Structure 1
């Protein structure tokens, strides 16, 4: 039973990390895009 709980916790932790990385990466691209537009004007 304990092994199942630990496995579930690890899966949730890894899934959350992947989602957070994609979000931060996308946010960085958005900021970069805005900066390029501002330099162009």
Structure 2
């Protein structure tokens, strides 16, 4: 029973860490997109 609890806790921890990583990557990609957009607007003007 204890082994099952440890495995479930480890799986939950890994799942949470993966979600945070994906969310962080999404924010970084969004920021890079904004920077490219701003640079394109500057060049256009």
Q: Considering the TM-score relative to the shorter chain, is it more than 0.5?
A: yes
Structure 1 segments (4+ residues) deviating >6 Å: none
RMSD: 0.3
TM-score w.r.t. length of structure 2: 0.85
Q: Which whole-Å CA distance do the structure 2 matches of 1:31 and 1:5 have between them?
A: 39
Q: Which runs of 5+ in 1 are unaligned?
A: none
Q: Which runs of 5+ in 2 are unaligned?
A: 40-45
TM-score w.r.t. length of structure 1: 0.93
User: Which has the higher Rg, Structure 1 or Structure 2?
Assistant: 2
Number of equivalenced pairs: 39
